[in-house]
Chains A and B, each alone.
Chain A
Amino acid sequence: MASKPRVRVPKTAKKGEIITIKSLISHKMETGRRKDSKTGELIPRQIINKFVCNFNGKQVFASDWHPAVSANPFMAFNFKAEESGEFEFVWTDDDGSTYSKKASLTVN
């Protein structure tokens, strides 16, 4: 399945509030250890190996993933809202391609 990300960020937050961010992306997270049931050959590894969350261009959270991360990876984490701005979420695949999504937050 083509990788398509989803993120959930509250639209607004009070200054100093700690918000929860959830992300989900469709990906097989092929471990490289499975064999093709028909040919018996190893299916090459292909996973998303990095997930980064930037806020106003600055990295605020990141994660390195190994083949032990489940298919269709989910990641929830937190962020302390101090100013309004834009999140950018970037997932990096083993093949070098990236998938990204943006979301804005208004702090009042």
Chain B
Amino acid sequence: MSKITDKTTMSRRTALELAGGGVIAALLTGTLAGAARADAALLSDAIKKAVGDSAMTEGRITLDLPEIAENGNTVPVSVAVDSPMTEADHVKAVHLFAEKNPAADVASVYFTPASGVAKASFRMRLAGTQNVVAVAEMSDGSLFTAKKLVKVTIGGCGG
């Protein structure tokens, strides 16, 4: 293979491009902070629509998501709820929300005692770094919740 000799030029160009990316990223962070209140309202509306506005307790849910997602188009997610899954005591549904997506709803999964365990895995879209929120509805009507922050990488060649 022939050797590329002009490496200095490459590095300077890359350096400038990378530095530019940093500034843009910093500006974006500021904009996102301003939009946070609107996101919170969208999220609470979506949750209210799915389960009403009863009180929710944190816990019982294991929300498995990558800390850093390589691409926001396809983020593997697994949600499991601790429950005996009997007729008398089981998980009826788990609703998943993404607080900064254009629409907060992601998916709802509905279990039955025949499920054996309340667990589901699939892949979701995340429009940027944000919290993913899970709300579980139990057979006695009680609600549990959990959330996890997922960082979504952008830019470069995969963005």
A and B touch in the complex (CB under 8 A): yes
Count residues of chain B with CB under 8 A from any CB of chain A. 29
| B108 closest partner in A (C-beta) | A64
Q: Tell me, in angstroms, the Cα distance from A22 to B18 when the chains sit together.
A: 42
Question: What is the distance, in angstroms, from A38's C-beta to the closest C-beta of chain B?
Answer: 21
Q: Is B19 an interface residue (CB 8 A)?
A: no
Interface of A is mostly: strand
Q: Is A1 an interface residue (CB 8 A)?
A: no
Q: Is A89 an interface residue (CB 8 A)?
A: no
Q: Tell me, in angstroms, the Cα distance from A78 to B117 when the chains sit together.
A: 6
Q: Is A55 an interface residue (CB 8 A)?
A: yes
Q: Tell me, in angstroms, the Cα distance from A82 to B85 when the chains sit together.
A: 14
Question: What is the distance, in angstroms, from B132's C-beta to the closest C-beta of chain A?
Answer: 10
Q: Which of A3-11, A66-74, A96-104 contacts B (4 or more CB under 8 A)?
A: A66-74
Chain A residues within 8 Å of B121, by CB:
74-77
Q: Which of B73, B85, B110, B113 contacts A62 (CB 8 A)?
A: B110
Chain A residues within 8 Å of B75, by CB:
70
Q: Is B120 an interface residue (CB 8 A)?
A: yes
Given contacts A33-B102, A69-B123, A74-B123, A80 and B110 within 8 Å (CB-CB) = no
Chain A residues within 8 Å of B124, by CB:
68-70
Given contacts A78-B115, A78-B116, A78-B117, A70 and B110 within 8 Å (CB-CB) = no
Q: Is A26 an interface residue (CB 8 A)?
A: no
Q: Which residues 41-83 of A have a CB within 8 angstroms of B?
A: 55, 58-71, 73-80, 82
Q: Which residues of A contact B (CB under 8 A)?
A: 18, 31, 33, 55, 58-71, 73-80, 82
